[in-house]
Amino acid sequence: MFRQASFASKHFARSFSASQRRLASTKTIREALEEVIPVKQAQLKKLVEHLLGGMRGLKAMLWEASVLDPIEGIEFHNKTIPQCQQELPPAAGGKEIIAESMLWLLLTGKVPTEAEVRQLSRELAEKGELPEYVEKFIDSLPPTLHPMTQLGMGVAALNHESKFQAAYESGIKKTEYWTYTLEDSINLLARLPTLAARIYRNVYNPGQPIPAINKDLDLVGNYVNQLGFGENKDLTEYLRLYIAIHGDHEGGNASAHTAHLVGSTLSDPYLSYAAALYALAGPLHGLANQEVLRWQLNMQKEIGGEVTHENIKEFLWRTLKSGQVVPGYGHGVLRNPDPRFMALQQFCDTRPDLLADPVIQLVKKTYEVAPDVLKEHGKTKNPYPNVDAASGCVLYHYGLTQFKYYTVIFGVSRALGCVTQLVWARALGLPIERPKSLSMEAIEKLIK
């Protein structure tokens, strides 16, 4: 009996002590995490870098339309950008590649005839009007809402029109998935510039009328016209080139991968691309050209009227020594100058007004200095410019000065490659994407 009481007394004492400790703990969840995170961070440093480097370089996706080579740059069905510029039909009266030509090449792997491109342009123009409910929805959004947020919301709302979703719910064979996906994709591409132009009007030019779609114009021709720049033929040509060569950049970038991932669940192209747009809106992905432009304008302000290679070199070193990167330089894959940058530079070289622009002159001179500085700095794997080093500066020159809108234009272009992959994923019957995840402990066991 005494032993039982003694045992009970000790058990009570232990329980009471534990209870006291629990009651004495007043940590918040933030404070608890502040204790755990340093331990996990230390554990992470011991793991192999390539396993946890954002899957950079991990070969795990099928992407038919384009391949990004570190040395040669992007190729579309084995065609370089200069080859595409030579072979793909331009708009009537124009010289630059247009979205329709690139879309045809991405989807089919073949160079379209001029007649095929004109027919596709007319089809897109005929399907370009927004449903009334989408217009009202976009018009109801506050103009202070970021244009990319509005674009994603508008594309998601168009899901109401999805032919694939309706057909899937009624019951179709898997072999027919791609046909309805293609129909949705064409409709999405047709309406995307109209949606983007309406957002531009609401945010930056409220109350201004939006021109009707011209059935005789190509997709980008109508887009520029609806933005209110239809008289500027050089801007139209520039955006034709920009959107065509920016339309696909293999599948590993965040927006393309997101479209593929969401599409693998059999979400329709509208929902899949809406998700991709929100990946594109992230500062590490789609905001680069506006960051470059801000940096270039800041350099111009600091250097003043006398721009020399030495002045630029000093500004570059100040940027690097402050712990910042040089925006527009470096790339996750490329190890040479970006062919897209070179194409945009060549565009500038053919136009005296662009060559005379102080900001574009600064871009050109920065390219002559920055690679050597970055090589000397030694912390950049690719010391050469990417497409963002030039793209925003040309938009700024032509009067599209609203930085927040630049990613919307990127979003209009990137749809070309994303919808191409969605169509082929359904045609090839690709499975849902479901990689295996591991804890740090499980990774450590694999390493050992």
- Cβ atoms 406, 309 nearer than 8 A: no
Measure the CA dihedral 84/85/88/92, to 10°. Answer: 160
Supply the mean pLDDT for the chain.
90
Q: Answer with the residue of higher pLDDT: 361 or 332.
A: 361
79-133, pLDDT tens digit by residue? 999 999 999 999 999 999 999 999 999 999 999 999 999 999 999 999 999 999 9
pLDDT at 20 over 50: no
The band of 25, judged by pLDDT with boundaries at 50, 70 and 90, is low
- Scanning the structure block, which residue is given the tokens 């449903």? 131
State the number of CA atoms in the 13 A half-sphere of 255 facing the CB. Answer: 31
Rounded CA-CA distance 259/14 in Å is 56
Q: What is the 3-state secondary structure (H, E, C) of 174-193?
A: HHHHHHHHHHHHHHHHHHHH
For residues 261-285, give the mean pLDDT. 96
d(CA 203, CA 191): 19
Would you call 71 exposed, middle or buried from its count of C-beta atoms within 10 A (0-12, 13-18, 19+)?
A: exposed
Give the pLDDT score at 47: 65
Evaluate if residue 18 carries a pLDDT over 70.
no
Task: Kindly state the percentage of the chain with pLDDT values over 90.
Answer: 73
Tell me the percentage of the chain whose pLDDT exceeds 70.
Answer: 93
Give the β-pairing of 66-69 and 73-76.
antiparallel
CA–CA gap between residue 111 and residue 218 (Å, rounded): 17
Give the model's pLDDT for residue 315: 95
Distance CA 158, CA 369 (A): 47
Residues 135-174: tens digit of each pLDDT: 999 999 999 999 999 999 999 999 999 999 999 999 999 9
Largest CA distance in the chain: 106
| Highest mean pLDDT of the ranges 307-311, 386-390, 411-415 | 411-415
Confidence of residue 233 (pLDDT cuts 50, 70, 90): very high
Q: What is the mean pLDDT of residues 342-354?
A: 95
Is 285 assigned a catalytic role?
yes
pLDDT at 38 over 50: yes
What local confidence, expressed as pLDDT, does residue 46 receive?
Answer: 67
Taking the C-alpha atoms of residue 369 and residue 363, their distance in angstroms, rounded to an integer, is: 10
| Active-site annotation holder among 331, 338, 357, 397 | 331
The yes/no answer on whether domain 27-448 falls in CATH 1.10.580.10 is yes
8-28 mean pLDDT: 51
Length of the chain: 448
Split at pLDDT 50, 70, 90, the class of 16 is very low
Catalytic entry in 77, 146, 285, 377 = 285
Please give the average per-residue pLDDT across 228-247, as a whole number: 97
Distance CA 428, CA 384 (A): 37
What burial letters (b/e) apply to 190-218, b meaning 16+ CB within 10 Å?
bbbbbbbbbbbbbbbeeeeebeebeeebb
Q: Cα separations (Å) of 278 from 149, 204, 297? A: 7, 21, 27
Catalytic residue among 184, 338, 388, 397: 388
pLDDT recorded at residue 39: 84
Residue that has been written with the tokens 């072999």 in this structure: 175
Q: Verify whether residue 377 is a known catalytic residue.
A: no
Q: Is 198 helix (H, G, I), strand (E, B) or coil?
A: helix
CA dist 76 and 25 (Å) reads 61
Q: What is the pTM of this model?
A: 0.88
